[in-house]
A and B are shown apart, each in its own frame.
Chain A
Amino acid sequence: MSALTVFKALMLRNFVYLKRTGVEVFSIIFWPVIIMSSLAFFATFIQSKEGLVILVTGSIAWSYMFTSHVDTSYTFVRDIWHRSLKKLRMLPIPEWQLIIGNWLFGLFRSAAMIAITSTIAFFVFGFNLFSINLLYLFAVFFGLSLFGMGIGIIISSAILRYGVNAEVLIWSVADALILLSGVFFPVSVLPPVLQFVSYGLPPTYGLEGLRGAFIHGAYDWVMIAKFYIADLIYIGIFWIVLKAQMRHSLRTGFFQKYE
């Protein structure tokens, strides 16, 4: 059977689930509305246009990346909750197809997220996300979703190790990135030690690159290249961790425990 059939099946499964779970549909709209309206009020205090651009681009990018990583790992948690993980693992499909299939669905959800946040930003701040080079914009956002996949992979490993308790990581990893990747401020304002950490994280390059384009009209493709290289290094390492964790879980009887 082809990987495409599997991707389609996984996406359809997630879609039907989402459609029937009112709360989840609500959450797609709820978050962007909350963050964008907070920014609208916040904007009345901010003097510089630059500051506003940083906050708005940061919020859009962060909501987007968050959706990618949540979707990659959350489906996993859901199958543990409903005790159907054992059945998922019995399927004759390799782990990467499971990861990519769920991530692809996340891409659709993140696209919805971008549509909502950017529309609000346009009407409230007159901020047009699509006013920069579209290829550049696409490169940044695709890079962010790749990193989202990486985070989804490492969280999946944590879930394989600690069970549903690791679910809290899904939300907290994203919070840590707000601080360390300079989502709402340029990395240069961080103390040197944190700056060093920050440049060890792929999304930092994407976010800096995005701000540069909006504020200075600068398209730093070298920055984007670094972004993708960093993404791939992270995905590679996290993938190796996942494979190792999978073997460990097969020894400890994780799948036996979670039915």
Chain B
Amino acid sequence: MEPIVVNGLEKVFAGGVRALSNVSFTVGKGEIFGLLGPNGAGKTTLVNILSTLLLPEKGEARVMGLDPAKDSLELRKIIGLSGGYARFLPKLTGREHMKFYADCYGVKPDFKLAKEFQMENKLDTLIEDYSSGMLQRLGLIIALQHRPEVVLLDEPTIGLDPQIAVVVRKYIKKLKSKCSAVLITTHNMYEAEEICDRVAFIDKGRIIAIDTPKKLLRKTKSKTLEKAFIKLAREGLE
């Protein structure tokens, strides 16, 4: 069974914004799959559909064989979602949040994980005194501490200090051996090249190419994924 299967997904928001058009792809076992595209391309929309937070108009999705639209509760037990703009209740500490979320999954808070993200000394600080980078790392810890089968990361390194971004990327690579699949969205093409086994280019709600970063570079005769994306997006228009 493929960990993530997406078939013909369509999402239209009120006001007629077509956020996704006929999106299909599969993420294989052990894969880190990147969803690349500019702002407004539909990345968050897609991740939210897989995370049971949004219902599509058409098409279907399966995550570990479960349908996000119908098996929402079951699915939420085995996935972890973290977005780039994580926010928490200001009057609680990081540790209290870790404990609360762990309790709701019926697991123990994973303080080792906090250490991996260099957060062990910040856990007793109130959230209102956290920097955005600290919030983001706490978001990752909380999304991962229940050991999800499938990890969905929506722009996990956006706005992080470079040296912290390195730590986070390193950990995402390690996730490969800890879970069935990782789906990561980013508009940082360099990041995608570094950590993804395969990437899908998404532009205006459409997937315009799916392949390994290497093959995409070769096919488009480009030096960077950024250039490859621009070429393919232009071809799509023609």
Contacts and interface: CB of A to CB of B under 8 A. Distances in A.
B76 A92 contact: yes
Interface stretch (A3-11, A30-38, A164-172, A236-244): A3-11
Interface in A7-49: 8-9, 12-13, 16-17, 20-21
B55 A16 contact: no
A252 B15 CA distance: 10
B44 interface: yes
B105 A92 contact: yes
B76 A82 contact: no
Interface stretch (B96-104, B181-189, B200-208): B96-104
Given A13-B96, A252-B14, A1 B89 contact: no
B9 interface: no
A259 B85 contact: yes
Nearest to A24: B91
B87 A84 contact: yes
Given A84-B89, A247-B55, A9 B48 contact: no
B141 interface: no
B136 interface: no
Interface string B66-104: 000000011011000101011111111000100111011
B167 interface: no
User: Taking each of A21, A83, A91, A253, which has the highest tally of chain B beta carbons within 10 Å of its own beta carbon?
Assistant: A253
Contacts of A252: 13-14
Nearest to B57: A251
A91 B104 contact: yes
B18 to A, nearest CB: 13
Contact of B53 (A17, A21, A86, A247): A86
A2 B87 CA distance: 27
A250 interface: yes
A83 B14 contact: no
Interface in B164-197: none
B66 to A, nearest CB: 12
Contact of B92 (A16, A94, A251, A255): A16
A17 B104 contact: no
Interface residues of B, number: 35
A3 to B, nearest CB: 11
B89 A82 contact: yes
Contacts of B13: 252-253
A255 B53 contact: yes
Interface string B30-58: 00000000000000110010011111000
B91 A1 contact: no
A78 interface: yes
A93 interface: yes
A79 B89 contact: yes
Interface in A182-208: none
Given A17-B92, A251-B55, A5 B106 contact: yes
A94 B105 contact: no
A82 B53 contact: no
A60 B157 CA distance: 52
A5 B100 CA distance: 10
B142 interface: yes
Nearest to A83: B87
A169 B231 CA distance: 52
A87 interface: yes
A92 to B, nearest CB: 4
Nearest to B152: A90
A89 interface: yes
* Most interface-central of B45, B88, B91, B92 (chain A CB within 10 A): B91
Contacts of B86: 87
A131 interface: no
Interface of A: 1-2, 5-6, 8-9, 12-13, 16-17, 20-21, 78-79, 82-84, 86-87, 89-94, 247, 250-253, 255-256, 259
Given A13-B89, A91-B76, A253-B45, 4 more contacts: A1-B105, A20-B92, A90-B81, A256-B45
5 contacts: A90-B53, A90-B76, A92-B74, A252-B14, A256-B54
